[in-house]
Amino acid sequence: MPHTYFTRNLIIAIVIMVVLTGFTTCKKQSIPDPVSAASITEFETRLDNLRKQSNIPGMVAGIVKDGQVVWTKNYGYKNLAQQKLVTNSTIFHLASLTKTFASTVIIQLVKESKIDLNAPVANYGVNLAENGTVRVIHLLTHTSEGVPGSHYKYNGDRYALLSNVIQSANAKTFHQLATERIMQPLGLQNTAASDMKLAALDGFDTTRLKANTAQGYSSNGTQPVDYPKGFSAAAGMISTIDDMLKYGAAFDGTQLLADDLKLKVFSPMMSNDGKTLPYGLGWFIQRREGVEFTWHYGYWIGMSSLIIRVPSKKISFVLMANSDMLSAPYSLGSGDIWVSPYAKEFLKSFVLAGAKL
């Protein structure tokens, strides 16, 4: 009898513990994200805490609203050994943010009937062996693999082939057209190809560019690394925070793209069977709590970057760093910006919660 009583109580205790554990687990899974920052000062601190946790040596951030720069902040060092601090003049590598520049050039050429988005890429000298015809729009939307148009798969190497499409259609290189059609009209004097030979051809002061470029670092933030040398429609541009904020704000007007072209660029691609994909023409497209935002991330050796645009609010956020840790820990290529704590802090504070800038 005592043994039975003990056994019964033990079973009851175990059941209660299992139930409570499950309840606790459910509660943990349903805990909401931290509340939005109450002020820009708190937002600055939160970004810096994230930077330090990720061992990022140097970082710069900025917000532009209604065409006006409302906030910038410099964090850490552009060069640890020389103890040089990041400033607004510090040049960072953009990595895949370059894709958005290529998209703009391509859509301008589409408007001029020099490129046909639905034309086979073979018409522009690009030959790919796939189960079907690969068209320009497939490269532009990361839907070129397998059966073209059937599914989204982020692939920078495929996107880089758009350099060939641009040059074939226009007899000018991507870096030339980006300079003529984006940098010069917007007055972006520090946005150029990271390849200094190409930058020199485009008329940039390469001595100044080199002097102001941040040193790249390993993921742990301690070892200097050499930046990759490649340049294409997929990656390879450099810029400053001031230039990138001008660039982000330009899409709120019509200086780069007319309204009908912006509608094309910032609409998500549809798969062959009618599914909405996470990527438009060179930009990720996402909606949360009824607000649409367009964004892109950059991720390469020694560098990472992020741009988020919220067209309905005419606000853009830019973040650049001299290690890969803004992007490396997160699966941003899947198309969900919400996995980035940096993006989340901005969106929660100044887009979804509407904190004052």
Q: Is residue 16 part of a domain?
A: no
Q: Is residue 100 part of a domain?
A: yes
Q: Is residue 304 part of a domain?
A: yes
Looking at per-residue pLDDT, the higher value among 5 and 176 belongs to 176
CATH code where residue 77 lies: 3.40.710.10
Q: Is residue 188 part of a domain?
A: yes
What local confidence, expressed as pLDDT, does residue 354 receive? 66
Q: What is the pLDDT of residues 13-26, one digit of tens each?
A: 433 343 333 433 33
Q: What is the pLDDT of residues 210-240, one digit of tens each?
A: 999 999 999 999 999 999 999 999 999 999 9
Is the pLDDT confidence value at 258 over 50? yes
Q: Is residue 185 part of a domain?
A: yes
Q: What is the pLDDT of residues 41-100, one digit of tens each?
A: 999 999 999 999 999 999 999 999 999 999 999 999 999 999 999 999 999 999 999 999
Q: Domains in the chain: how many in total?
A: 1
Q: Is residue 337 part of a domain?
A: yes
Q: What range defines the domain where residue 346 resides?
A: 40-352
What local confidence, expressed as pLDDT, does residue 22 receive? 41
Q: What is the SS3 string spanning the chain?
A: CHHHHHHHHHHHHHHHHHHHHHHHHHHHHHCCCCCCCCCHHHHHHHHHHHHHHCCCCEEEEEEEECCEEEEEEEEEEEECCCCEECCCCCEEEEECCHHHHHHHHHHHHHHCCCCCCCCEHHHHCCCCCCCCCCEHHHHHCCCCCCCCCCCCCCCHHHHHCHHHHHHHHHCCCHHHHHHHHHHHHHCCCCCEECCHHHHHHCCCCHHHHHHHECCEECCCCCCEECCCCCCCCCCCEEECHHHHHHHHHHCCCCCCCCHHHHHHHCCCCECCCCCECCECCCCEEEEECCEEEEEEEEEECCEEEEEEEEHHHCEEEEEEECCCCCCCCCCHHHCCHHHCHHHHHHHHHHHHCCCCC
Share of the chain above pLDDT 70, in %: 90
In this prediction, residue 357 has a pLDDT band, given cuts at 50, 70 and 90, of confident
Tell me the whole-structure pTM to 2 decimals: 0.90
What local confidence, expressed as pLDDT, does residue 356 receive? 73
Q: Is residue 21 part of a domain?
A: no
Q: What is the pLDDT of residues 100-110, one digit of tens each?
A: 999 999 999 99
Q: Is residue 19 part of a domain?
A: no
